[in-house]
Amino acid sequence: MESLLRRERTIVAAGLALLCALAWLYLLTGAGLGVSARDMTTLSLFPHRAAQAMDGMDMRDMPGMAMPAPPTWGPGRWALTTAMWWTMMVAMMTSSAAPTILLYGQVRRHAVAQGQAAVALAPTGAFTAGYLLVWFGFSTGAAALQWSLERSGLLSSTMMASQSRWLSAALLIGAGAYQLSPLKGVCLRHCRSPAAFLSRHWRAGASGAIRLGALHGAYCVGCCWLLMALLFIGGAMNLAWIAALTLLVLAEKLVPGGPWIGRAAGALLAAWGLATLLV
């Protein structure tokens, strides 16, 4: 048991890395939606114009472009879209959540070493499960929003990207304003101070660990939910946008001066949104 506890940090870190790698692999292979991640990945300063052009093209004139037919929203489509968003959350958020998860494991190992009752402790996996549950809840909401935006014609059904400058501008300006808001600051402080969070909200047992992970996961979602919504601009399967947002989230939470990085990003997003209104 002592040998296992000494190696637990390495085991947990390897498990998180494997989980993140599998999530990225799933996205790279099309997330089960029958699309090519390469074809869905485009770079444009104003992606809504590219989405408008793509939806207006006759795909018979582009034999080299393997784009799917507009999908219908049956139970299978709902399940795959929710799984896509959940996988994206895992791919984008696991790296920034890892320090808190590893710290929880360290606290648990210390408690075991001090001879505290094992019944009061829970495996690190239970704490991680709390994050996954919250990310799944966010993913169901994101899938529902995607369905609504597609039905309204604001979102391209093939590229899963905004084809409305008003939607793109609203998301950019909204995300920029939120980056500068007090609520964002509160959520970010909890994400950047895992030791203080664990000491204040610690709960015993497996159910307590799940609740603790869910609470911290909720703060992480509260910190980043509008940044995730920006995927509706560039495309929900646009790997370039997913990677860029992942790096921004990671910098905000882990890099010294992260809050200032977030504020600078907010100002740039708001300016980008205003420019979008003009094109």
Map out the domains of the chain as residue ranges: 2-59+72-277
d(CA 217, CA 98): 11
Distances in Å between the alpha carbon of 49 and those of 7, 19, 218, 234, 277?
A: 52, 35, 34, 11, 12
What amino acid occupies position 253?
K
162 forms beta bridges with 155
- Please determine, for residue 4, whether its predicted confidence score (pLDDT) is greater than 80: no
* Residue 129 reports pLDDT greater than 70: yes
How many angstroms separate the CA atoms of 174 and 49, rounded?
Answer: 20
Angle (CA) 60-63-65 rounded to 5° is 105
- The model's pTM: 0.85
Residues paired with 155 in a beta bridge: 162
| Predicted confidence (pLDDT) per residue in 222-235, tens digit | 999 999 999 999 88
| Structure tokens given for 260 | 């200032």
Lowest mean pLDDT among 59-68, 133-142, 180-189, 266-275: 59-68
Cβ 71 vs Cβ 157: under 8 Å: yes
The rounded distance, in Å, linking the Cα atoms of 252 and 142 is 22
Rounded to whole angstroms, the Cα distance separating 98 from 240 reads 22
